[in-house]
Amino acid sequence: MREREVKLSAGEKFELPDLGGLADGVAATSRQQERLSTVYLDSNDLRLARWGVSFRHRAGQGWTVKLPGKSSGPLLVRDEVVFEGDPEDPPAGAVDLVAGYLRRAALRPRVRLRTLRRGVLLHDPQGQLVADVVDDAVTVLDGRRAVASFRELEVETTPETPPGVLDAVVARLRAAGAAAPDPTPKYLRAIGGADAAPPEIQPAKLLPSASVGDVVGRAIADGVVRLIRHDPVVRLDNDPEGVHQARVATRRLRSDLRTFRRVLDVQWSADLREELGWLGGQLGAARDADVLLLRLSARATALPEASTEGASEVIAALEQRRVEAHAALLDALRGDRYLDLIDRLVQAAQAPALLRPAAEHRATRDLPRLVRRAWRALDGKVESLADRPADEELHMVRILAKRCRYAAEACSPTLGKRTRKLAKAAAGLQDVLGELNDAVVAERWLRDWAPGAPSTSGAFAAGELAALERAAADEARARWPKAWKQLSPHAPT
């Protein structure tokens, strides 16, 4: 489920105001009072809290894992996953979901809360719930002894919440004496607030005076955070974007280690790149299966009705391929090699193996040379192409465009607008050549699969789809020179 809420704190004497008449037709009814008993689990070093994750058991409601959220103004949006299970034994699926954050750290009870919950439900004229306004009086327990207490208000919205209702509720709560919105979860408040659990990785803000080492540290930290935050999305396997973003993070990290290799310990960097290459291969197999399935499922809708049965055989084969690829990926994520790699990446983000004094040089002095190096590799490859380059050659151009883009993106916070424009234009070329590569890969898979198809109709449908992919490849091939021409003026000087 996706939780969308605004949190506010309130004093002991706060009284929930009348919330009727906030919008046309919206009615307010009192919420049934509840008494809740909750225990939060975490590692000894509060690793989950530091990543913005909560792992709890609530009597009568089971186990819930809340993943890190995104803020949009005062609104906090985050995913929560509910599990059934014994109160004394965290479900294996829940523990697996947070494995990327915990690695080998053990879970244990960290906070126990007793909550008196009251509130108001807001419904539209059709009876649809549009907001749940909760007033929680929370007591923090040490055994049976109360050691702290606080008051928290939550306004949880739904997809049906009319525009303006959330702002109106918050405004009325503020007028009644509630404090400004504060996204700090109950668990963090109970252990002493966000200051008690600083992030395990905190990418540094780059100042104009930043050193090369500062930029390297920021690039590595960004990549590791991106990878770890998408780990649970991969494990849930309900959004192909999880595998995609984890793969992007892995590729970007490898590219950054390559770009900044002259200011990093050689063996340290090489070892990390090798392990990231292994992980990239695991993610790549699953991502390729996702792309093929999504791509050819959409493409099959363009086939004539007579080809429907054959196309269904193609899609069934792709679905099976995807199931197998994702199962293999999950096996890899549950293995020691992956956990060791994530531990090493966290350490790398916290303290990269920089070579000094080169890493201490001012970034604005040394980084332009690194961007130019990435550009020259791309430019040289394009210049060497024949009039009609092979698909494999254009695939290499795409790889070099990606490296150039990643180098520019890593350096742009320091080098500024011109480098950002280079990165954006390189991404445009990468996208066009990515479409070409996807079409080529899809066509090749279809032609390899067709001879062993279960039926003649399946083989015929595969041939039809292959022809559509060849047309898509030709169209992308025709577009790439324009994308290159748009990139060329942004060449670094």
For 57-84, how does the pLDDT look when each residue is reduced to its tens digit (9 = 90+)?
Answer: 999 999 999 999 887 778 888 999 999 9
Joined tokens for residue 221: 């930290």
Of 196, 225, 240, the residue at which a domain comes to its end is 196
Q: Is 205 domain-assigned?
A: no
Residues 133 and 223 in one domain: no
Q: Is 323 domain-assigned?
A: yes
Q: Is 207 domain-assigned?
A: no
Q: pLDDT band for position 455 (50/70/90)? A: very high
Q: Is 201 domain-assigned?
A: no
Q: Kindly report, residue by residue over 213-248, the tens digit of the pLDDT.
A: 999 999 999 999 999 999 999 999 989 999 999 999
pLDDT at 400 over 90: yes
Contact 459, 310 (CB under 8 A): yes
What is the rounded distance in angstroms from the CA atom of residue 114 to the CA atom of residue 143? 11
Q: Kindly report, residue by residue over 337-350, the tens digit of the pLDDT.
A: 999 999 999 999 99
| pTM of the full structure | 0.92
Residues 173 and 216 in one domain: no
Quick one: pLDDT at residue 349? Answer: 97
Which has more confidence, 194 or 331? 331
Residues 251 and 153 in one domain: no
Residues 356 and 420 in one domain: yes
What is the rounded distance in angstroms from the CA atom of residue 101 to the CA atom of residue 333? 12
CATH number of the domain encompassing residue 418: 1.40.20.10
Q: Kindly report, residue by residue over 19-58, the tens digit of the pLDDT.
A: 988 877 889 999 999 999 999 999 999 999 999 999 999 9
Quick one: pLDDT at residue 295? Answer: 96
Quick one: pLDDT at residue 26? Answer: 87
Q: What is the mean pLDDT of residues 159-182?
A: 90
Residues 228 and 343 in one domain: yes
CB atoms within 10 A of CB 386: 7
Residues 169 and 276 in one domain: no
Q: Which of 331, 46, 329 is nearest to 196 (CA)?
A: 46
Q: What is the mean pLDDT of residues 368-387?
A: 95
Q: Is 206 domain-assigned?
A: no
Residues 137 and 258 in one domain: no
Of 196, 220, 246, the residue at which a domain comes to its end is 196
Contact 226, 249 (CB under 8 A): yes
Residues 188 and 221 in one domain: no
- CA 64 to chain CA centroid, nearest Å: 20
Residues 361 and 430 in one domain: yes
Residue 122's H or E segment, with its range, is strand 108-123
What is the rounded distance in angstroms from the CA atom of residue 493 to the CA atom of residue 91? 57
- Above pLDDT 70, what percent of the chain? 100
Q: Which domain holds residue 118?
A: 2-196
Quick one: pLDDT at residue 221? Answer: 97
Q: pLDDT band for position 194 (50/70/90)? A: low
Quick one: pLDDT at residue 323? Answer: 96
Of 137, 168, 196, the residue at which a domain comes to its end is 196
Residues 123 and 235 in one domain: no
pLDDT at 442 over 90: yes
Residues 182 and 221 in one domain: no
CATH number of the domain encompassing residue 177: 2.40.320.10
pLDDT at 183 over 90: no
450: exposed, middle or buried (Cβ count in 10 Å: 0-12, 13-18, 19+): middle
Residues 164 and 236 in one domain: no
Q: Which of 60, 68, 58, 56 is nearest to 3 (CA)?
A: 68
